Structure 1
Amino acid sequence: MKTVNSITELRSVLKSFRDKGLTIGFVPTMGNLHQGHLSLIDAAKHHADVIVASIFVNPMQFGVNEDIDNYPRTLEQDQTKLIAANVDVLFTPTPEIVYPKGLDKQTFVEVPGLSGSYCGESRKGHFRGVTTIVCKLFNLVQPDIACFGLKDFQQVQMIQTMVEDLSMPIQIVPVATKREVSGLAMSSRNSYLTATEKQQATHLYQTLQWVKHRLSESQDFEHIEMIARSKIDASGMRTDYIDICNAKTLEPATVEDKELVVLAAAHCGKARLIDNIQIELN
Structure 2
Amino acid sequence: MEVFYDKKTFSEFINHQKIQSKTIGFAPTMGALHAGHISLYQEARKENDIVVSSIFVNPTQFNNPDDLEKYPRTVEDDIRKLEDSKLVDAVYIPRVEDIYPNGMERTHYDFGGIENEMEGAARPGHFDGVGTVVEELFLQVKPNNAYFGEKDFQQLKIIQKLVEVLDLKIKIHGVKIHREENGLAMSSRNMRLSEIERETSALIHQTLKRVNEWFRVISVPEIKARVEAIFDNEKMDLEYFMIAEESTLKEVDFFSADDDFRAFIVVNVGTVRLIDNLHLD
1:220-231 paired onto structure 2 within 5 Å: 220-231=219-230
Aligned partner of residue 255 in structure 1, secondary structure? coil
Which range moves more in the overlay, 79-88 or 225-234? 225-234
> Which residue does 1:123 correspond to in 2?
123
1:119-158 paired onto structure 2 within 5 Å: 119-158=119-158
Which range moves more in the overlay, 84-93 or 170-179? 84-93
> Which residue does 1:40 correspond to in 2?
40
1:236-251 paired onto structure 2 within 5 Å: 236-251=235-250
1:2-41 paired onto structure 2 within 5 Å: 2-41=2-41
Aligned partner of residue 43 in structure 2, secondary structure? helix
Identity of paired residues, percent? 37
CA distance in 2, matches of 1:169, 1:192: 38
Cα displacement (A) at 1:226? 2.2
CA distance in 2, matches of 1:152, 1:242: 15
RMSD value, Cα:
1.4
Q: Tell whether the 8 Å contact from 2:107 to 2:131 is kept in structure 1 after alignment.
A: no
Question: If the length of structure 1 is used for normalisation, what is the TM-score?
Answer: 0.94
Aligned partner of residue 168 in structure 1, secondary structure? coil
Q: Tell whether the 8 Å contact from 1:109 to 1:128 is kept in structure 2 after alignment.
A: yes
1:84-103 paired onto structure 2 within 5 Å: 84-86=84-86, 87-103=88-104
Tell me: CA distance 1:210–1:103, structure 2 relative to 1, closer, same or farther (3 Å).
same
Which range moves more in the overlay, 51-60 or 252-261? 252-261
Which range moves more in the overlay, 61-70 or 9-18? 61-70
Cα displacement (A) at 1:108? 4.2
> Which residue does 1:199 correspond to in 2?
199
Asked if 1:274 is matched to 2:275, the reply is: yes
CA distance in 2, matches of 1:228, 1:276: 13
Cα displacement (A) at 1:216? 4.1
Cα displacement (A) at 1:130? 0.8
Which range moves more in the overlay, 129-138 or 63-72? 63-72
CA distance in 1, matches of 2:107, 2:215: 43
Aligned partner of residue 72 in structure 1, secondary structure? coil
Question: If the length of structure 2 is used for normalisation, what is the TM-score?
Answer: 0.95
Q: Tell whether the 8 Å contact from 1:204 to 1:232 is kept in structure 2 after alignment.
A: no
CA distance in 1, matches of 2:9, 2:17: 13
Q: Tell whether the 8 Å contact from 2:216 to 2:255 is kept in structure 1 after alignment.
A: no
Q: Tell whether the 8 Å contact from 2:117 to 2:250 is kept in structure 1 after alignment.
A: no
Provide, for residues 157-183 of structure 1, a one-character-per-residue CA deviation record: whole Å limited to 9, x for no partner.
Answer: 111111112211000010000000100
Aligned partner of residue 93 in structure 1, secondary structure? coil
Tell me: CA distance 1:12–1:69, structure 2 relative to 1, closer, same or farther (3 Å).
same
Amino acid in the other structure paired with 2:203: H
Q: Tell whether the 8 Å contact from 2:107 to 2:129 is kept in structure 1 after alignment.
A: no
Cα displacement (A) at 1:66? 3.9
Aligned partner of residue 180 in structure 1, secondary structure? coil
Aligned partner of residue 156 in structure 1, secondary structure? helix
CA distance in 1, matches of 2:121, 2:5: 33
Cα displacement (A) at 1:111? 2.2
Stretches of structure 1 lacking an aligned partner (at least 5 in a row): none
CA distance in 1, matches of 2:216, 2:112: 32
Cα displacement (A) at 1:97? 2.3
Q: Tell whether the 8 Å contact from 1:31 to 1:75 is kept in structure 2 after alignment.
A: yes
Q: Tell whether the 8 Å contact from 2:149 to 2:176 is kept in structure 1 after alignment.
A: yes
Stretches of structure 2 lacking an aligned partner (at least 5 in a row): none
Aligned partner of residue 143 in structure 1, secondary structure? coil
Q: Tell whether the 8 Å contact from 1:53 to 1:91 is kept in structure 2 after alignment.
A: yes
